[in-house]
Amino acid sequence: MRKRLEYEILLNCILVEENVRNCFFIWCKKTLKICEYINKLFPNLILNKYEGSNKLLQLEKSDVLLISKNIIRPNDYDTDAKLGKLLGYLSAEEYFKLDRTINFYNYILVAKINNIEVYLYNELSQNKLDYNNIKNKVDIVLKRNKFGIDIDELFVKELLVKN
């Protein structure tokens, strides 16, 4: 696997294992290799096959997995708001309802490791959000991660997308 993807999976699995996130998505074309990687390092995590919105399945034309500590059933994410909340998005009620014809914000929580930017959260919102609480939780957990990975920097990119 590419280094950025390895870090992204590893760090997000740590966040799920440490209860910072309920779950996260992985779009993968090499599902077996990724599943083996996660099962080896995080045997207590569950790889749930996503069976929801065709919007997400069509994005990459690949498998979509929800990685979590619990079994996630399709009725746990049968609305956009439920899915957004499950993923830990602050604007869960707006999930997929974004009006891209007017200005909106793109929030990206980034961990920098050896000059590689690893995206942990990526959320679009019509409104300005405060990501400091999430950033602080992530910072605490990643500083004491069991793999000894040194996070050079953790920051939030806040981009205003103007239309």
- Please compute the mean of the pLDDT values over residues 63-91 and round it to a whole number: 90
Of 113, 104, 85, residue with least CA distance to 158: 104
Is residue 93 over pLDDT 90? no
Say which DSSP state 132 is in.
Answer: H
Is residue 105 over pLDDT 80? yes
- Angle (nearest 5°) at CA 7 between 111 and 42: 120
Q: Could you tell me the pTM of the whole model?
A: 0.88
Question: What is the percentage of the chain residues whose pLDDT exceeds 90?
Answer: 60
3-state secondary structure of 42: coil
Confidence at 53, pLDDT banded by 50, 70, 90: low
- Rounded to the nearest 10 degrees, how much is the dihedral formed by the CA atoms of 144, 146, 150, 153? -50
**Conformation bin of residue 155: beta by default, left when phi > 0, alpha when psi is -120 to 50:** beta
> Per-residue pLDDT tens for 114-156?
999 999 999 989 999 999 999 999 999 999 999 999 999 999 9
Burial bucket for residue 132 (CB in 10 Å: 0-12, 13-18, 19+): exposed
Confidence at 29, pLDDT banded by 50, 70, 90: confident
| Largest separation between any pair of C-alpha atoms in the chain | 45
Is residue 58 over pLDDT 60? no
Q: Find how far residue 117's CA is from the centre of its chain.
A: 14
